Amino acid sequence: MIEKAHAKRVEIPESCLGSSERNSRGTGMGVSEKITVRKENPSPEMSKLMEQVVEQSNMRKALKRVEQNRGASGVDEMTVADLRECLKAEWPRIKVELLKGSYRPQAIREVEIPKPGGKGMRKLGIPTVVDRMIQQAMLQALSPIFDPEFSESSYGFRPNRSAHQAVVKAREYVQKGKRWVVDMDLEKFFDRVNHDVLMSRVARKVKDRRAIALLYRYLQAGALKAGIVEARQEGTPQGGPLSPLLSNILLDELDKELERRGHVFCRYADDCNIYVGSKQAGEKVMKSVEKFLEKRLRLKVNRDKSAVGRVERRKFLGYSMTFDRNPRIKIAEETVKRIKRKLRECFRSAQGRNLGRFILEDLNPLLKGWVNYFRLAEVRGIFEELDGWIRRRLRCMVWRQMKRTWTRTKRLLSLGIEKNRAFRSAANQRGPWWNSGASHMNEAFKKIYFDRLGLVSLLTELRQLQFTSRTAVYGTVRTVV
């Protein structure tokens, strides 16, 4: 069945291939849009893109990147470890097909993962490792063509750009008096991208028909789910290297429209925040931008996640801000709830494990990654609170592991608790969570006990990261102890 899907010919609409004289209704979707196309000779980079894609240094770089990222296997079950051996035999044929424009990608393997917060499932499309390498090579060739002309207010999936830069820029807007935000989230964006609308935008810059045809085939590649290959009519499946760039190409039209209207905004992928001076202005902007997205880009705003509100009551990329005149960056309440949910799952899976090994192998990597992302936070109280909460969870884990009254008594005695008190504490009928917060467990398993086991302190880690950032900015040659 997979072979049948692989062999199926994909017809590419003429509107996707581009021409020097484009119809103003070229999307074929009944969307009236006026597109101005300058008559110019395409540059060699644009008309001979596939030669750049298959160039040896570009393919070596793509191969190395795929190997670094690892990832799951696709429908052919080939792993990243087998890729080099496969290329020794198959690359000459694949290269010829790419240059002729006859290469056809295999179907993607569709899987679902839970969304953050447990609100539904997110679809991922996993290409084969060979297709991932080709997509990565195309990404490396396409990025220099499109990225320089993307908006300065676009921060997602771009070289030398990050979520931290977006958050810092957002605070600048708020400091200038834009205390209201139009918080827009696109409904199932990656699943609902219109292929014709997207490819018409690609064809404005890419003149190599082989490259356009290959991009369209990647978009149209069937998805294998439960043993059946389903045709794909819309969407850019998350999981392939090209998906982020294609999403930016499509949404760049939104960026340019917002700039034309004079708005200040920050966009990270499909998460866009527009900063305005009042609620009335925000509601007006929300209505007009929603209309623009539906008519021009065939995208729908997620009403459940989108709203007009005070910046202090909304979150952006996990962060929020204080009500101060000079706002400070803080972690959003929803973000704290999310990390606690994740940590609870981590602790549940650790029942019966060695405490020290669990801390070093499972807990510390999670905590370090989390605090590294949220190192911009200027309100530190939540880090101290989380540190205490994590230690209590560890004490709860220890209490469960001790199980019997006599075992608990001996352990408490060994850690300095007085004999009668140790026996009374071990024999109480309270549950593990109550005991983890009781004085006998706090005195027996102090902070220093977990420090000796190597537990990362979020507050200490945050201070070190922020100190390192300051020394890097000011050029100080001090080392962090």
Give residue for tokens 């000779």: 41
Q: Pick from 296, 303, 201, 283: which is nearest to 248 by CA?
A: 201
Burial class (CB in 10 A: 0-12, 13-18, 19+), 233: exposed
d(CA 196, CA 15): 7
Residue-wise pLDDT tens for the chain (481 aa)? Answer: 344 344 444 444 444 444 433 333 333 333 333 333 344 444 544 568 999 999 999 999 999 999 998 888 888 889 999 999 999 999 999 999 999 999 999 988 888 777 765 566 777 888 999 999 999 999 999 999 999 999 999 999 999 999 999 999 999 999 999 999 999 988 888 888 889 999 999 999 999 999 999 999 998 888 877 677 777 777 787 888 999 999 999 999 999 999 999 999 999 988 999 999 999 999 999 999 999 999 999 999 988 889 999 999 999 999 999 999 899 999 999 999 999 999 999 999 888 889 999 999 999 999 999 999 999 999 999 999 999 999 999 999 999 999 999 999 999 999 999 999 999 999 998 999 999 999 999 999 999 999 999 999 999 999 999 888 765 444 443 333 3
Overall pTM > 0.85: no
447: left (phi over 0), alpha (psi -120 to 50) or beta: alpha
The angle at the Cα of 168, spanning 178 to 280, to the nearest 5 degrees, equals 20
Helix, coil or strand: residue 234? strand
d(CA 54, CA 62): 10
Q: End-to-end distance of the chain based on CA atoms, in angstroms?
A: 60
Query: Which of the 8 DSSP states describes residue 194?
Result: B
